[in-house]
Structure 1
């Protein structure tokens, strides 16, 4: 059954006009009155609906009933990643959403290849949020991964609150401690760029409560390492 994200709250059964984005998807699929579809607004519930009217400028549906599917990870995982170059960030956002990340924090560090700021960073964030929404539609998630504003690593670390109920892991090829089970229901993982974080950056992360962890003897790419962590948590 087709499923679509809508950027308007879905609150109660009844008829409504779909917002333009979702309406275009329905039109592209050539759905007809009486066809079933699934809608979600990112808040958690998933609504079963049916098309009631198709027009060139408007698509109307009838919301029938809502369900609360349990498709999230056992803990809320945020990935803080120094952005990889080229289209690897798109890939990372897509797969992180499929694997269940709650949020993704794009960062710029000393050895960054991709450097974004200002309007360019805002446009990229909007694009990546769209990638996350599309991945949520495909994977069955009802809460797309939230893409945070691009920040310098030092600024982001300086603003982090104390880690009271959150486990923090620093993915580092210098670390000896392997990733292991943790009891917290929230986790934050920091991953570096293609050339890795500098020693000073790793020291700054440790000072904010991050434990350096190893993902094995191989050197993983900047877009592979955080996805390996998510996969491990999803299967643990």
Structure 2
């Protein structure tokens, strides 16, 4: 049962906090989570020895040292889930004992609000049931999907970094309203609600973004004039390039991690 599984976190940043919060909103007992203000220790080895499922939520440049430290204590009962950006499954498996069960997970910041987008890939020794168990455990964090490892870096560019792109756009919307005379606090509130509402409608309707966009436009109306300005500014191409650049950077980090390890 998931409620009996002992879960440990190495690292306690935003991603670890968001994942732990989502898990606790399910059927896992708070006492079964280590290192997130429930049962706390400064010993990585103690976390591993006291857990069945271990989330390694440290920065990419720290992953090598952490895995070498815990490696002697990782057994066949453990599932190790890495959320280190760019660190490949091959690197994780090389730094852990033979036949270790490893999963690579990429969440994003909205996990903190239980509205995240998470994608994971299983290592060569992780079984389908390991993936199904992780999906069940994390489903309160938001959307959780499994895919090939090649998609992880794309997901990083689309959703991990994409969150910041959305914030930039929301900020620009609010500043446009301020420019036209609306108070800043109100403009920011309305911009955030606009992004939230648009996102929920897009997710729940199942419609293509282009269809929803066309439903907002009326001939000669305000929206088509605004969209024309966005197209003149190259917003579509800039957004595509932003995802491409972030994806390429994630791949570079992975290659650097492999070289260092």
Q: TM-score, normalised by structure 2?
A: 0.27
**Bigger share in helix:** 2
**Bigger share in strand:** 1
Q: TM-score, normalised by structure 1?
A: 0.30
Q: Which has the higher contact order (CA 8 A, sep 6+)?
A: 1
Pair member with larger Rg? 2
